[in-house]
A = this chain, B = another copy of it.
Amino acid sequence: MTTREIALTQINQKSTSQDGGERCGDCPIRYRAVCAHCETDELALLEDMKFYRAFEPGQPIVWEGERMDFVGSVVSGVASLTQTLEDGRTQMVGLLLPSDFLGRPSRDIAPYNAIAATKVVFCCFRRKPFEQMMRTTPHVAHRLLEMTLDELDAAREWMLLLGRKTAREKIASFITIIARREAALQKRNPGGRMQIELPLTREAMADYLGLTLETVSRQISALKREGVIELVGKRAIILPDFARLVEESGDDSDGGYLS
């Protein structure tokens, strides 16, 4: 069984929770999602307005310009937000990880495409009651503000990457971002070398980074050739020297996420 299959299996295990009656108290993103600050009684309100949906890799969650009668959170898996020009050029503008929020209260037309990159379990809140709750209880609105400000910061880092980094720096930055996220979630595997799963195809990475898929492939090969990374299959990467990778990313420091 490949590491990729293992990852998909893990997602499957989580997605068995999708048949409606799941308790928020047991939710894996209970303290990181939009509901993070909610009290027990507020959770009960949310449970009344929520339902789960599962999406397969490549499947659209919403289409640009489409009406969206729900908002909600990614429970497991990865989804991408993309914008396109008429002639088909595509740029990813958001990467939704577990606990990230999709949809804007008080606007029902989606401004970009949302597409499942892996299997995704999505916790939907019906729009109307959710908007009502935004008005009446401060905890949800406050948490959503925090999360939106964080996303704005991330978008601005991303703009620096798109506007000013070289192809090599973009690839190294992307791997660094994924590595930090996985390190933050998973219990440290002690001693063993850091290994990560790429949740995106080469093409999706290209759309993330403002490159072509050929350039992505070439730069990954170059980093491998020079020993900065090692490949395990196509989608898993071992990082023998994280500091070296960060150097290649062009950023000034490792942000303190990893010793």
Binding site for B on A (CB under 8 A): 81, 83, 85-87, 89-91, 93-94, 104, 111-112, 138, 141-142, 144-145, 148-149, 151-153, 155-160, 162-165, 209-210, 250-252
Give the complex CA separation of A44 and B148 in angstroms: 28
Contact A156–B94 (Cβ < 8 Å): yes
A252: chain B residues within 8 A (beta carbon) = 85-86
Q: What are the 9 A-B residue pairs with the smallest beta carbon separation, nearest first?
A: A163-B210, A93-B156, A162-B162, A155-B155, A91-B163, A89-B164, A91-B160, A83-B160, A162-B163
Give the complex CA separation of A149 and B150 in angstroms: 11
How many copies of the polypeptide does the oligomer hold?
A: 2
A85: chain B residues within 8 A (beta carbon) = 160, 164-165, 250-252
Contact A159–B164 (Cβ < 8 Å): no
A249 → B minimal CB distance (Å) = 10
Give the complex CA separation of A94 and B152 in angstroms: 10
Q: Which of B91, B145, B164, B165 contacts A164 (CB 8 A)?
A: B91
A199 → B minimal CB distance (Å) = 19
